């Protein structure tokens, strides 16, 4: 079979995967602004119309933060990945596909909340957002499980506890998003919204130990 060797030093085996992923994350986060369109309004009514867009502002901030935190976690685990195989590419594509899709439920939730904060449509909308977020957590699980089975893809210095903790963290996220979707659909969308805002904050804060390591290792 053909050999396609990697050139030493200049090109690492994960650099293009990181570049492609960074591009997808950057676009996924930036196109969220496309939902912030100038609202229709009578002359002199722009201020009031802009005020009514508050669910869109909330959605922008929440989903931007969410994707930023996903990027940060991606950055951290890829610092420990030495080389890519087919399964890791598949898990990464799954992760990027669910991340890119977030702009859709964000817009759906914003519009539904703007019409009726606790109505039937808002319940459906938060269930959609929760479902796609849960799928994204599942993609993280598949990535960590694959790394756990193929430790040869990792730098020697990455301890298996780190990978196991990633599996747990992503499982917990999936369970919480599913719960948020069910409670948001059956009880009130406000529960789901609280989870959508708080969970990324939790993942950001709980990533600190790894960041501290990054700082220390430099």
Interface residue with its own copies among 70, 134, 153, 180 (CB under 8 A) is: 153
User: Should residue 11 be labelled a site residue for its own copies when binding is judged by CB under 8 A?
Assistant: yes
Residue 31: count other Cβ atoms within 10 Å of its Cβ. Answer: 12
Interface with its own copies includes 7 (CB under 8 A)? yes
**Considering only 36-44, 141-149, 172-180, 188-196, which stretch makes contact with its own copies by CB under 8 A?**
36-44
Report the site for its own copies in 158-177 (rule: CB under 8 A).
Answer: 158-159, 161-162, 165
Q: Which of residues 39-68 bind its own copies (CB under 8 A)?
A: 41, 43-47, 50, 60-61, 64-65, 68
Nearest distance in Å: CB 150, its own copies: 9
* CA atoms of 167 and 169, how far apart (whole Å): 6
Task: Map the footprint of its own copies across residues 87-116, applying CB under 8 A.
Answer: 89-90, 93, 96-97, 100-101, 103-104, 107-108, 111-112, 115-116
Determine the interface stretch with its own copies among 140-148, 170-178, 190-198, 204-212 (rule: CB under 8 A).
Answer: 204-212
Mark the segment that binds its own copies (CB under 8 A) among 69-77, 141-149, 173-181, 190-198.
Answer: 69-77
């Amino acid at each position: 079979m053909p050999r396609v060797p990697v050139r030493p030093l200049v090109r690492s085996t994960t650099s293009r995967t990181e570049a492609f992923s960074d591009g997808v994350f950057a676009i996924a986060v930036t196109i969220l602004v496309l939902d912030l369109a100038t609202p229709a309004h009578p002359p002199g009514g722009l201020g009031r119309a802009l005020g009514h867009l508050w669910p869109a502002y909330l959605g922008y901030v929440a989903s931007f933060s969410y994707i930023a935190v996903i990027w940060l976690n991606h950055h951290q685990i890829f610092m420990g990945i030495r080389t890519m195989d087919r399964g890791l590419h598949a898990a990464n594509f799954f992760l990027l596909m669910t991340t890119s899709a977030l702009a859709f439920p964000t817009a759906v939730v914003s519009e539904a909340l703007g019409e009726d904060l606790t109505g039937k449509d808002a319940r459906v909308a938060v269930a959609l957002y929760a479902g796609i977020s849960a799928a994204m957590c599942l993609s993280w699980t598949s990535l960590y499980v694959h790394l756990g089975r193929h430790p040869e893809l990792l730098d020697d210095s990455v301890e298996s506890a780190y990978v196991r903790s990633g599996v747990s963290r992503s499982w917990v996220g999936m369970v919480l998003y599913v719960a948020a979707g069910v409670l948001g659909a059956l009880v009130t969308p406000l529960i789901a919204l609280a989870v959508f805002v708080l969970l990324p904050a939790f993942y950001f804060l709980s990533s600190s130990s790894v960041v501290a390591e990054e700082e220390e290792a430099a």
